[in-house]
Amino acid sequence: MIGYITFGTNDFNKAVDFYDNLLAELGAKRVIETPEFVAWGPEYGVASLSVLNPHDGKPATAGNGVMVALNADSPGKVDLVYQKAIALGATCEGEPGPRAMPGFYAAYFRDLDGNKLNVFNFSQT
């Protein structure tokens, strides 16, 4: 159902570098690339995450209550992606660990522009 999610950025090159490095940990690669827009996903034609400078020329801002959740294949991968995000300059919004529902393991962070992301693994046992 989701085609792609876009984050506005105030530093396009820095955002592209951040997501190149971070999303590679989840097996994503650039699937669309123009001078103004880059999208990452496992392959072209499936849900992807993208960044761009806002078309209206105004500063990019993070949405209040908006969060993008990235699915990881294990709790260990959650830890790895979270640590990578922090190493790349993200800020912590919740360290990796079990959450409210059994089998749900997640970590939360904000990217370089303040957009909130979550990386999670949900295993029903």
What's the pTM?
A: 0.90
Q: Structure tokens of 11?
A: 């530093």
**Side chain identity, residue 54:** P
Q: In whole angstroms, give the CA distance from residue 103 to residue 61.
A: 33
The predicted pLDDT at position 125 comes to: 63
pLDDT tens for each residue of 63-76 = 888 999 999 999 99
| 8 A C-beta contact, residue 21 and residue 88 | yes
Q: In whole angstroms, give the CA distance from residue 76 to residue 53.
A: 33
Of the options 3.40.640.10, 3.30.450.20, 3.10.180.10, 3.30.56.10, the CATH number for the domain spanning 4-52+66-122: 3.10.180.10
In the chain, what are the domain boundaries? 4-52+66-122
pLDDT tens for each residue of 15-63 = 999 999 999 999 999 999 999 999 999 999 999 999 999 999 999 999 8
The predicted pLDDT at position 113 comes to: 97
